Chain A
Amino acid sequence: MTALVLLEHDGRTIKQPARSAVAAARKLGEVHVLVAGEGIGAVAEAAAKLPGVAKVIAADAPAYAHGLAEPLADLLVALAPGYTHLLAAATASGKNVMPRVAALLDVQPISDISAVVDADTFVRPIYAGNALATVKSADAKKVITVRATGFDPVAADGGSAPIAPAPAISTPEISRFVSAELSKSERPELTAARIIISGGRGMQSGENFHLLDAIADKLHAAVGASRAAVDAGFVPNDYQVGQTGKIVAPELYVAVGISGAIQHLAGMKDSKVIVAINKDEEAPIFQVADYGLVADLFKALPELSLALENLS
Chain B
Amino acid sequence: MKLLVPVKRVVDYNVKVRVRSDGGGVETAGVKMSMNPFDEIAVEEAIRLKEKGLAEEIIAVSLGVAACAETLRTALAMGADRGILVETDAELQPLAVAKLLKAIVAKEEPKLVILGKQAIDDDMNATGQMLAALLGWPQGTFASRLLIEDGRALVTREVDGGLETVSLALPAIVTTDLRLNEPRYASLPNIMKARKKPIETLTPAALGVDPAPRLTVLKTTEPPRRQAGVRVGSVAELVDKLKNEAKVI
Among B98, B128, B238, B248, point to the contact of A251 (Cβ < 8 A): B248
Q: Using A103-B134, A109-B94 as known contacts, say yes or no to A295 and B235 having CB atoms under 8 A apart.
A: yes
Choose among B118, B168, B241, B249 the residue with the greatest number of A CB atoms under 10 Å from its CB: B249
Q: Using A96-B142, A291-B238 as known contacts, say yes or no to A102 and B165 having CB atoms under 8 A apart.
A: no
Among B26, B138, B243, point to the contact of A131 (Cβ < 8 A): B26
Counting CB contacts under 8 A, is B29 at the interface?
Answer: no
A183 x B221 contact (CB < 8 A)? no
Q: Which residue of A lies closest to B152 (CB)?
A: A176
Among B126, B131, B142, B220, point to the contact of A133 (Cβ < 8 A): B220
Q: Using A179-B165, A304-B239 as known contacts, say yes or no to A262 and B16 having CB atoms under 8 A apart.
A: yes
Among A100, A175, A304, point to the contact of B133 (Cβ < 8 A): A100
A175 x B17 contact (CB < 8 A)? no
Q: Tell me how far the C-beta of A241 lies from the nearest C-beta in chain B, rounded to whole angstroms.
A: 12
A1 neighbours in B (Cβ, 8 Å): none
Size range of the chain A interface in the assembly:
35 or more
Q: Which residue of A lies closest to B124 (CB)?
A: A111
**Per-residue CB proximity of A91-116 to B under 8 Å, as 1/0?**
11101111111111011111110000
| Chain B positions 179-229 with a Cβ under 8 Å from a chain A Cβ | 179, 213-223, 226, 228-229
**Per-residue CB proximity of B233-249 to A under 8 Å, as 1/0?**
01110110111001011
A126 neighbours in B (Cβ, 8 Å): 26, 121-123, 220
CA of A293 to CA of B172 in the docked complex: distance in angstroms?
49
A96 neighbours in B (Cβ, 8 Å): 129, 139, 141-142
Choose among A129, A175, A303 the residue with the greatest number of B CB atoms under 10 Å from its CB: A175
B231 neighbours in A (Cβ, 8 Å): 286, 291-294
A180 x B242 contact (CB < 8 A)? no
CA of A262 to CA of B222 in the docked complex: distance in angstroms?
14
Counting CB contacts under 8 A, is B162 at the interface?
Answer: yes
Among B95, B120, B127, B142, point to the contact of A106 (Cβ < 8 A): B95
Among B215, B222, B232, point to the contact of A135 (Cβ < 8 A): B215
Counting CB contacts under 8 A, is A13 at the interface?
Answer: no
Q: Tell me how far the C-beta of A278 lies from the nearest C-beta in chain B, rounded to whole angstroms.
A: 11
Q: Which residue of B lies closest to A266 (CB)?
A: B123
A168 neighbours in B (Cβ, 8 Å): none
Count of A-B contacts judged by CB separation below 8 Å: 266
B16 neighbours in A (Cβ, 8 Å): 130, 262
A272 x B248 contact (CB < 8 A)? yes
A288 x B228 contact (CB < 8 A)? yes
A139 x B219 contact (CB < 8 A)? no
Q: Tell me how far the C-beta of A89 lies from the nearest C-beta in chain B, rounded to whole angstroms.
A: 10
Counting CB contacts under 8 A, is A246 at the interface?
Answer: yes
A183 x B161 contact (CB < 8 A)? yes
B235 x A125 contact (CB < 8 A)? no
A132 x B123 contact (CB < 8 A)? no
Q: Using A134-B218, A183-B162 as known contacts, say yes or no to A293 and B246 having CB atoms under 8 A apart.
A: no
Among A177, A246, A272, A287, point to the contact of B228 (Cβ < 8 A): A287
Q: Using A238-B159, A273-B246, A304-B239 as known contacts, say yes or no to A292 and B142 having CB atoms under 8 A apart.
A: no
Binds B, one of A23-31, A66-74, A158-166, A200-208: A66-74
Q: Using A99-B94, A130-B16, A174-B169 as known contacts, say yes or no to A293 and B228 having CB atoms under 8 A apart.
A: no
Counting CB contacts under 8 A, is B5 at the interface?
Answer: no
CA of A104 to CA of B144 in the docked complex: distance in angstroms?
26
Binds B, one of A41-49, A53-61, A229-237: A229-237
A133 x B217 contact (CB < 8 A)? yes
A273 neighbours in B (Cβ, 8 Å): 242, 246, 248
Among B164, B218, B228, point to the contact of A180 (Cβ < 8 A): B164
Counting CB contacts under 8 A, is A156 at the interface?
Answer: no
Q: Tell me how far the C-beta of B97 lies from the nearest C-beta in chain A, rounded to whole angstroms.
A: 10
**Per-residue CB proximity of A248-287 to B under 8 Å, as 1/0?**
0001100000000010000001001111000000000011
B127 neighbours in A (Cβ, 8 Å): 99
Counting CB contacts under 8 A, is A298 at the interface?
Answer: no
Q: Which residue of A lies closest to B135 (CB)?
A: A103
B141 x A69 contact (CB < 8 A)? yes
A308 x B239 contact (CB < 8 A)? yes
Among A219, A262, A293, A311, point to the contact of B232 (Cβ < 8 A): A293
Q: Tell me how far the C-beta of A80 lies from the nearest C-beta in chain B, rounded to whole angstroms.
A: 13
Counting CB contacts under 8 A, is B67 at the interface?
Answer: no
Counting CB contacts under 8 A, is A243 at the interface?
Answer: yes
11 A-B pairs with C-beta separation under 8 A: A66-B164, A92-B160, A96-B141, A108-B214, A110-B215, A237-B178, A238-B158, A243-B123, A252-B242, A287-B228, A292-B229
Shortest 10 CB-CB contacts between residues of A and residues of B? A290-B229, A103-B130, A103-B133, A99-B126, A108-B214, A99-B129, A175-B138, A182-B162, A303-B235, A174-B138
